[in-house]
């Protein structure tokens, strides 16, 4: 119901009527994502029936399960949108989305080559949880707290030793794996100043991303950043240092605010569904075939 109320408020504020909106694409909030178990499953809350009923607008939702049904990971789904918007003939690019979890989309300069995309590991999830625990804040604004500390190489090595980082793509992960419980299993966490842990977590995210790029897209010359992590200046500075000589820039340069890329992507996926066009990339998710994603609720 909250989603519906926010949509109604947005329409009222902008003077747009429901009749002017063809469809709503809603991902919902993921509370469970286990694509690699004996019975693969994923669950997002935010009932599209309620959204469609209370707004009077056709609603597209439940994007991930169809890809899982086709043998895929159900994630990441945004790379299909990245390909449509950011791919450029003759230049190898990588789009990096730094949300709770970080994921990359590898866009070859040769458009005949397959796109690759996968989760690289934690994005903001560990940083935000650590700030909440020690600073009573939902995030480390601008990375200022992390900037006051120093990364600890021994702890970083321990964190990077997690088996997930050695898995080949396609792969995906989530908050149910990378969380404060996971972080606190590493004994050094209790022995270091909290600001040093914050600095180390910034470097962990940057290291996961750049290591994945070096291994899977070594010819990359341009890295396009989107997602909330772009506001963490300490994280971005570490990413730029580790990614050199590749150019690191914001998606804003391409006309899309970095905080809005994923939202725009799910609007695009909703359009794909309405037009009965596939929304997944098997080379990314591991699905056996391209499929039309999501359900339509009227």
Tokens representing residue 237 in the block: 């500075």
Residues 61 and 113 reside in one and the same domain: no
Residues 151 and 122 reside in one and the same domain: yes
Residues 87 and 193 reside in one and the same domain: yes
Taking residue 245's Cβ as centre, other Cβ atoms within 10 Å add up to 5
pLDDT score of 199 = 98
CA dihedral 151, 237, 126, 47 (to 10 degrees): 180
Range of the domain at 64: 2-74+260-297
Residues 9 and 52 reside in one and the same domain: yes
Residues 15 and 148 reside in one and the same domain: no
Instruction: Give 15-72 pLDDT, tens digit per residue.
Output: 999 999 999 999 999 889 888 899 999 999 999 999 999 999 999 999 999 999 999 9
pLDDT score of 180 = 98
Residues 266 and 225 reside in one and the same domain: no
Sign for the pseudo-dihedral over CA of 225, 228, 231, 236 = negative
State how far the Cα of 154 lies from the Cα of 202, in Å rounded to an integer: 15
State how far the Cα of 35 lies from the Cα of 72, in Å rounded to an integer: 8
Q: Which of 254, 269, 287 is the last residue of a domain?
A: 254
Residues 93 and 212 reside in one and the same domain: yes
Cβ atoms of 38 and 256 within 8 Å: the answer is: no
Query: Which stretches within 41-178 are classed as H helix?
Result: 48-55, 64-69, 79-86, 125-135, 144-147, 153-160
pTM of the model: 0.88
Please report, for the domain that includes residue 216, its CATH number: 3.30.420.40
pLDDT score of 1 = 86
Q: How far is CA 21 from each of CA 15, 28, 220, rounded to the nearest angstrom? A: 12, 19, 38
Cβ atoms of 46 and 189 within 8 Å: the answer is: no
Residues 198 and 101 reside in one and the same domain: yes
pLDDT score of 76 = 86
**Number of domains within the chain:** 2
Residues 40 and 143 reside in one and the same domain: no
Residues 84 and 230 reside in one and the same domain: yes
Residues 172 and 63 reside in one and the same domain: no
Below-70 pLDDT ranges, the chain: none
Residues 38 and 143 reside in one and the same domain: no
Q: What b/e readout covers 39-61, taking b as 16+ CB neighbours within 10 angstroms? A: ebebebebbbeebbeebebbbbb
């Amino acid at each position: 119901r909250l989603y519906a109320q926010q949509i109604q408020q947005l329409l009222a504020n902008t003077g747009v009527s429901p009749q002017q909106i063809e469809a709503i694409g809603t991902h919902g909030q993921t509370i469970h994502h286990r694509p690699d178990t004996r019975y693969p499953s994923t669950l997002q809350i935010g009932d599209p029936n309620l959204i469609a009923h209370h707004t009077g607008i056709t609603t597209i939702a439940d994007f991930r399960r169809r890809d899982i049904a086709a043998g895929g990971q159900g994630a990441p789904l945004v790379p299909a949108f990245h390909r449509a918007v950011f791919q450029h003939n003759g230049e190898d690019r990588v789009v990096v989305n730094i949300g709770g979890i970080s994921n990359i989309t590898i866009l070859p300069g040769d458009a005949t080559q397959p796109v690759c995309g996968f989760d690289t590991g934690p994005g903001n999830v560990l940083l935000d949880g650590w700030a909440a625990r020690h600073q009573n804040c939902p995030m480390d604004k601008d990375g200022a707290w992390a900037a006051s500390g120093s990364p600890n190489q021994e702890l970083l090595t321990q964190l990077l030793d997690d088996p997930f980082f050695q898995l080949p793509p396609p792969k995906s992960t989530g908050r149910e794996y990378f969380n404060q419980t996971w972080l606190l299993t590493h004994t050094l966490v209790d022995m270091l100043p909290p600001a040093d842990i914050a600095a180390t977590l910034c470097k962990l995210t940057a290291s996961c991303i750049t290591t994945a790029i070096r291994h899977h897209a070594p010819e990359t010359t341009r890295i396009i950043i989107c997602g909330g992590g772009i506001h963490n200046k300490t994280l971005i500075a570490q990413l730029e240092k580790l990614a050199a000589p590749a150019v690191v820039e914001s998606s804003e340069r391409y006309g899309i605010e970095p905080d809005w890329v994923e939202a725009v992507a799910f609007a695009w996926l909703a359009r794909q569904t309405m037009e009965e066009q596939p929304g997944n990339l098997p080379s990314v998710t591991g699905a056996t075939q391209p499929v039309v994603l999501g359900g339509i609720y009227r």
